[in-house]
A and B are shown apart, each in its own frame.
Chain A
Amino acid sequence: MKKPKVLILRTAGTNCDIETATAFRMAGAAPELVHVGELAGKKKSVFDYAILAIPGGFSYGDDVAAGRILANEIKSRVKDLRGFVRSGRPVIGICNGFQVLVKAGLLPQTPSGEQTASLTFNDSNRFETRWVRLRINLQSQSLFTKDLPEMIELPVAHGEGKFVVKSPKVLEALKKSRSILMQYVNEEGKFSSYPYNPNGSLFNIAAITNPVGNCLGMMPHPERYVTRYHHPNWTRQTFCKEGVGLEIFRNAVKYVLN
C-alpha cells in the first residue's frame, strides 16, 4: 500500500518537526518537512499531501505573541490552507501549531474565518513542562481520537496555552458542536485547578476540533508519547502502557487510507 504523504510545515523557530515526522513514520505515513517559504513561493502545494501537520516550537521566536507572525503569514501567503481544511483531509496543529490555527482563524471554525478564541499567557506567567491528564470527548467527530480511551496522559510544554474565547457564545457553540476534544482533569477524571489545569484554560480546554472532525488543535504533545519509554513512569513495575500519542497519528493515517 502506498504510504500517505504528510506535509510537516516548518519555518524559522519550528522545533518539533523532526519528532512529529518520526511519529508519522511510525504510524505508517511518509512525512516531508516543508518550509513555509516553499508553499508561499508556490514551489509546492498543500494539495500534494494527504495530511497536514503544524508542529510545535516558537515560530519566529513567538516574538509579539505565540504563533501570531506565522498565522499572519499563512493568512496572507498560504491561502490554500482553508481549502485544505474544507477538503476534509486531516489537519493537526500541536502546541505552537494550535496557536497558529487559532490565530489564523481556522479553529474554532467560523464562516467568516474570524478569530474568535485565543491561546494566551499561562496564569502562572511562566513556560512550564509537565505531564497532564486529559479527558477525551467520546462524542466528538474527531477522526484523530477514534478508539482512544477516555482518559489519557500527555506532556505539555508552553508559556501561552491558556484557551480563552471572545464571548460566551463561542464556548456554547464549541460545546454544542462537540468540538471541545480534550480537557485537563485530575487523577479522578474531574476538573481541577493548577497544576492539573496547567495554564488556567477556560473550561479546562486542552484541544478543540472543527465540528466535522478533520482539523485538530491541541496544546499537549502527542509526538512526545509514541513509545512507552516516553512516559515518566515507565520504569515503575506496574506500568506497561504503550505510547497513546501514536494512536492519534495512526488514526489520521488510517482515515486517509480508508
Chain B
Amino acid sequence: MTAAAKPARPQKAAAAGRSTAAVPTTIIEVASRHGSTDAAGEATLRQLPMLGITGVREVRVSAVYEIAGKYGASQINQIARELLADPITQEYRVEKSTPSPAFLIGPHHRIEVWLKSTVSDPVGESTQNAITALGLSEPVRVRTGRAYHLIGRLTKGQVETVLNKLVSNPVIHTTKVTQR
C-alpha cells in the first residue's frame, strides 16, 4: 500500500481524550512570611528603577499553583503544608480562604503570570508527581505561575512596562492584572 492519498487523521484517542473541563481546580498561593526575606520580591524591586519606575516601595512575589483534581479541603491543605509551602519561611492560602498575615498587604497592583496552556510546565509536572508521592491521587494537571504585588505609586503605563519588560513574555505567558 502506498502512503498516498490518505490524509493523516487525528489520533483516535483525541475523541476519547480525558476532558479536563469538569475537573475542579484549586489555586494555592505561597508567599514569604512577614519577617522572612522575600528575595524574589527584592530582586524585582531592584530592577524597577532601570525601567524608569521609582514610585514602588516594595514588591512581594508569591508562587501560585493551579491544581486540577478532586481533592477535599484537608487534602488540599496537606499538599500546601507538606509540599508547596516551607513551614519556616512561607505561608500559604487556598483560593478564597481567609488570608493569613503574609497576604494582608496594603493597596497594591497584583500581576499574575502563568505559563500558557500550550507551553509545557516542568515545575507543574514535578509537582504533579510529588503530590502522588504524598499518597494522594494523581492530579489531572498542575500549572504554576507567579504573582507580583507592587506596593506604591504606579501609573497604568508603568504596570504595562513591568508586565511586558520584566515579568512576562507574551509568547509563553498569560497575565492578569488587578488593583486592590
Query: A and B bound?
Result: yes
* A64 to B63 CA separation, bound complex (whole angstroms): 9
Contact stretch, chosen from A47-55, A68-76, A86-94: A68-76
- B39 A118 Cβ-Cβ under 8 A: no
| Cβ-neighbour of B86 out of A118, A122, A165 (below 8 A) | A118
**Which residues of chain A have C-beta atoms less than 8 A from B123's C-beta?**
61, 63-64
Known: A116-B88, A118-B87, A124-B39. 12 other contacts (CB 8 A): A60-B126, A64-B83, A64-B126, A64-B127, A65-B86, A68-B83, A68-B86, A69-B83, A72-B134, A117-B88, A125-B43, A162-B37
Q: How many whole Å from A98's CB to the nearest CB in chain B?
A: 14
| Chain A contact residues, CB within 8 Å of chain B | 60-61, 63-65, 68-69, 72-73, 76, 103, 115-118, 120-126, 162, 164-166, 200
| Chain B contact residues, CB within 8 Å of chain A | 36-37, 39-40, 42-43, 82-84, 86-89, 122-123, 126-127, 129-130, 133-135
* A118 to B88 CA separation, bound complex (whole angstroms): 6
* A116 to B86 CA separation, bound complex (whole angstroms): 11
Q: Which residue of B lies closest to A77 (CB)?
A: B133
| Cβ-neighbour of A69 out of B42, B88, B89, B126 (below 8 A) | B126
15 A–B contacts from the bound complex (CB under 8 Å): A60-B130, A63-B122, A63-B127, A64-B84, A64-B127, A68-B83, A69-B83, A72-B134, A76-B134, A117-B88, A118-B89, A125-B43, A164-B88, A165-B88, A166-B87
* A54 to B87 CA separation, bound complex (whole angstroms): 22
Q: Which residue of A lies closest to B65 (CB)?
A: A64
- B42 A125 Cβ-Cβ under 8 A: yes
Q: Which residue of A lies closest to B63 (CB)?
A: A64
- B36 A69 Cβ-Cβ under 8 A: no
- A64 B88 Cβ-Cβ under 8 A: no
- A125 B39 Cβ-Cβ under 8 A: yes
**Which residues of chain B have C-beta atoms less than 8 A from A65's C-beta?**
86
**Which residues of chain A have C-beta atoms less than 8 A from B126's C-beta?**
60-61, 63-64, 69
Task: Tell which of A61, A69, A73, A166 has the most Cβ of chain B within 10 Å.
Answer: A69
* A103 to B70 CA separation, bound complex (whole angstroms): 27
* A103 to B39 CA separation, bound complex (whole angstroms): 20
Known: A65-B86, A76-B135, A125-B43. A120 touches B130 (CB 8 A): no
- A164 B36 Cβ-Cβ under 8 A: yes
* A115 to B82 CA separation, bound complex (whole angstroms): 11
- B40 A121 Cβ-Cβ under 8 A: yes
* A76 to B87 CA separation, bound complex (whole angstroms): 18
* A165 to B88 CA separation, bound complex (whole angstroms): 7
- B37 A123 Cβ-Cβ under 8 A: yes
**Which residues of chain B have C-beta atoms less than 8 A from A115's C-beta?**
87-88
- A121 B39 Cβ-Cβ under 8 A: yes
Task: Tell which of A117, A121, A126 has the most Cβ of chain B within 10 Å.
Answer: A121
**Which residues of chain B have C-beta atoms less than 8 A from A200's C-beta?**
37
- A69 B133 Cβ-Cβ under 8 A: yes
* A3 to B87 CA separation, bound complex (whole angstroms): 40
* A121 to B129 CA separation, bound complex (whole angstroms): 23
Q: Which residue of A lies closest to B43 (CB)?
A: A125
* A63 to B36 CA separation, bound complex (whole angstroms): 20
* A120 to B133 CA separation, bound complex (whole angstroms): 23
Q: How many whole Å from A145's CB to the nearest CB in chain B?
A: 26
* A243 to B166 CA separation, bound complex (whole angstroms): 43
- A73 B133 Cβ-Cβ under 8 A: yes
**Which residues of chain A have C-beta atoms less than 8 A from B122's C-beta?**
61, 63
**Which residues of chain A have C-beta atoms less than 8 A from B43's C-beta?**
124-126
Q: How many whole Å from A214's CB to the nearest CB in chain B?
A: 24
* A126 to B83 CA separation, bound complex (whole angstroms): 22
- B39 A122 Cβ-Cβ under 8 A: yes
Known: A64-B84, A64-B123. A72 touches B89 (CB 8 A): no
| Cβ-neighbour of B36 out of A64, A73, A116, A120 (below 8 A) | A120
- A123 B39 Cβ-Cβ under 8 A: yes
**Which residues of chain B have C-beta atoms less than 8 A from A124's C-beta?**
39, 43
**Which residues of chain B have C-beta atoms less than 8 A from A125's C-beta?**
39-40, 42-43
